């Protein structure tokens, strides 16, 4: 009897591998199609008329804030560097001999001097009184008040998100809830209440966050004062000096600091007692080479070289012993002299210090002003703004990622916050046997303070809540926005 062999499995085996290979592109196509549909539905939902404005604000306000954070840190670093560099350069090209306090000074003003913390060190312009006053008022309104509103807006956005997360771990008081979700601005009273609640009643899960919130509230409250204090207008001064003939002349216009005097300059075809002022002509640079090479009044021959317009046009003058008789003014306070180009006379430092003063400058017989900044106060404000910027940014980002990692969430504000607070008050008073609706406002406050410890408002955490991880939250965001991530990556590669 012949044995029958079942060959059906063998016939089917050749079709298994092609089927698996065919399923891979099909699954990928289905995945991409499903991803596209989900993104399209989310886009339609976000672009509904009732959500369009909220979407724009939600997604772009923190993008703009990130640009601001980058700009403020760059400016905070570059500003003192640039100011210090300009101060060093001005030592060699000083044309302003009036200090910020109105005194005459031959030394360049050090902008970081603590004594000038309230002086306008960085002054600009030549303005009349009306122009200076108008600029000051505009600054106080735009930067002071409008800036305070922006600081409060971003601060309370970060506060609300962080406190929303913290309420899942521990309740907060009625006052803290009202300040975080219903107030949106700072005041002395709310700041004191927040300090009281954090220290003696119910705080947040992070002490660092509580300290930062209180500090930020104080900073936002005093910001208009800081913005106004670091700016101002002052009379524009000019240095003048009384000459030996009792005439008065602008100091910077007719006086030059002397570097050298060549007493026997006739030996090199110059006039006797030839004065060389700072970096004024070629003779200054020639002396910088001549003195180190040959010295002064040395018993040795020397060579004086005039350099023409072209490097090959060099006129050499052979000098017999001794070398040139030169007086060097090395810039020390005890060894300085100035040349008055008006009468070609030399004035010593003691004479300059005694007869030179700074007086208000005038244009068409009208006093002129400068508007500007106190450098120390400006830098302190920039540092405070930098700390505030990154503190708010980190607080919001951490809370936002923790909330979005759980799916849909809501940060209560407006009427929704009122409902949260009302339900919490009603539940708390029911627990002590009181009907909240039947009590006056004063009685509600007294019971909340004496029996409820300021009250408690809590939000129940999701049952499937897992421990927060920044890495896990970022991965969840990338996964839920994978199509946008892919598009952004491709556009970056193209660029």
Closest residue by Cα to residue 329 from 259, 274, 257, 255: 259
Asked if residue 72 lies in contact with residue 389, where contact means CB atoms within 8 angstroms, the answer is yes
Asked if residue 207 lies in contact with residue 341, where contact means CB atoms within 8 angstroms, the answer is no
- Tens digit of each residue's pLDDT (9 = 90 or more) over 315-339: 678 888 888 888 887 655 455 677 7
Instruction: Spell out the residues 6+ positions from residue 258 whose beta carbon is closer than 8 angstroms to its own.
Output: 275, 276, 277, 278, 329, 336, 337, 338, 339, 346
- pLDDT digit string (tens) for the chain, length 495 residues: 444 545 444 444 444 445 445 555 666 667 666 766 666 665 555 555 444 455 555 667 777 888 888 888 888 888 888 888 887 766 666 667 888 888 888 777 788 888 889 999 998 888 999 999 999 999 999 999 999 999 999 999 999 999 999 988 889 999 999 998 988 788 888 899 899 989 888 888 889 999 999 999 999 999 999 999 999 999 999 889 888 777 888 887 777 777 888 888 888 888 788 888 765 566 777 787 788 888 888 888 888 876 543 444 456 788 888 888 888 876 554 556 777 766 677 887 788 888 889 988 888 788 999 999 999 999 999 999 999 999 999 998 888 888 877 666 778 888 888 998 999 999 989 888 888 888 898 988 898 888 888 888 888 776 655 555 555 555 555 555 554 455 545 544 544
- Tens digit of each residue's pLDDT (9 = 90 or more) over 208-242: 999 999 999 999 999 999 999 999 999 999 889 88
Q: Model-level pTM? A: 0.71
Distance CA 281, CA 71 (A): 43
Residue with tokens 């509904």: 48
Do you find a cis peptide bond into 263, omega within 30 degrees of 0?
Answer: no
Distance CA 281, CA 305 (A): 14
Closest residue by Cα to residue 467 from 381, 375, 405: 405
Strand partners, 307: 314
Contacts 24+ apart (CB under 8 A), 88-91: none
């Amino acid at each position: 009897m012949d044995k029958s062999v079942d060959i059906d499995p063998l016939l089917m085996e050749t079709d298994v591998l092609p089927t698996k290979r065919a399923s891979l592109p099909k699954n990928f196509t289905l995945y991409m199609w499903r991803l596209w549909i989900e993104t399209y539905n989310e886009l339609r939902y976000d672009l509904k008329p009732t959500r369009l404005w909220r979407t724009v604000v939600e997604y772009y306000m923190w993008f703009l804030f990130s640009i601001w954070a980058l700009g403020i840190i760059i400016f905070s670093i570059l500003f003192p560097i640039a100011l210090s560099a300009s101060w060093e350069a001005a030592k060699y090209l000083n044309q302003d001999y009036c200090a910020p306090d109105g005194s005459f000074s031959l030394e360049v003003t050090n902008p970081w001097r603590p004594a000038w913390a309230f002086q306008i060190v960085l002054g600009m312009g030549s303005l009349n009184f009306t122009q200076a006053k108008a600029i000051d008022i505009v600054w106080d309104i735009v930067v002071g008040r409008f800036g305070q509103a922006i600081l409060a807006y971003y601060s309370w956005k970060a506060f609300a998100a962080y406190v929303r997360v913290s309420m899942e771990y521990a309740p907060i008081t009625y006052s803290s809830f009202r300040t975080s979700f219903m107030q949106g601005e700072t005041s002395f009273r709310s700041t004191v209440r927040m300090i009281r609640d954090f220290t003696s009643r119910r705080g947040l899960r992070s002490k660092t966050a509580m300290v930062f919130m209180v500090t930020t509230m104080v900073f936002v409250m005093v910001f208009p004062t800081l913005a106004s204090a670091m700016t101002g207008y002052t009379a524009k001064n000019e240095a003048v000096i009384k000459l030996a003939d009792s005439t008065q002349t602008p100091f910077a216009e007719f006086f030059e600091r002397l570097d050298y005097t060549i007493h026997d300059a006739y030996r090199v075809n110059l006039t006797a007692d030839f004065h060389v002022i700072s970096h004024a002509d070629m003779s200054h640079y020639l002396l910088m080479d001549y003195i180190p090479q040959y010295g002064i009044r040395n018993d040795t021959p020397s060579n004086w070289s005039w350099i023409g317009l072209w490097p090959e046009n060099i006129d050499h003058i052979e000098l017999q012993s001794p070398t040139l008789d030169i007086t060097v003014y090395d810039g020390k306070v005890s060894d300085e002299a100035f040349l008055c180009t008006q009468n070609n006379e030399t004035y010593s430092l003691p004479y300059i210090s005694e007869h030179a003063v700074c007086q208000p400058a005038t244009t068409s017989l009208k006093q002129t002003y400068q508007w500007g900044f106190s450098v120390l106060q400006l830098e302190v404000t920039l540092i405070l703004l930098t700390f505030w910027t990154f503190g708010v940014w980190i607080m919001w980002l951490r809370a936002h990622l923790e909330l979005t990692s759980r799916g849909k969430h809501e940060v209560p504000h407006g009427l929704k916050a009122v409902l949260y607070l009302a339900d919490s008050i009603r539940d708390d008073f029911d627990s002590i046997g009181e009907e909240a609706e039947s009590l006056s406002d004063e009685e509600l406050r007294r019971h909340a303070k004496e029996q409820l410890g300021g009250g408690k408002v809590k939000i129940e955490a999701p049952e499937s809540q897992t421990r927060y991880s920044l890495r896990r939250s970022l991965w969840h965001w990338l996964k839920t926005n994978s199509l946008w991530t892919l598009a952004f990556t491709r556009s970056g590669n193209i660029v």
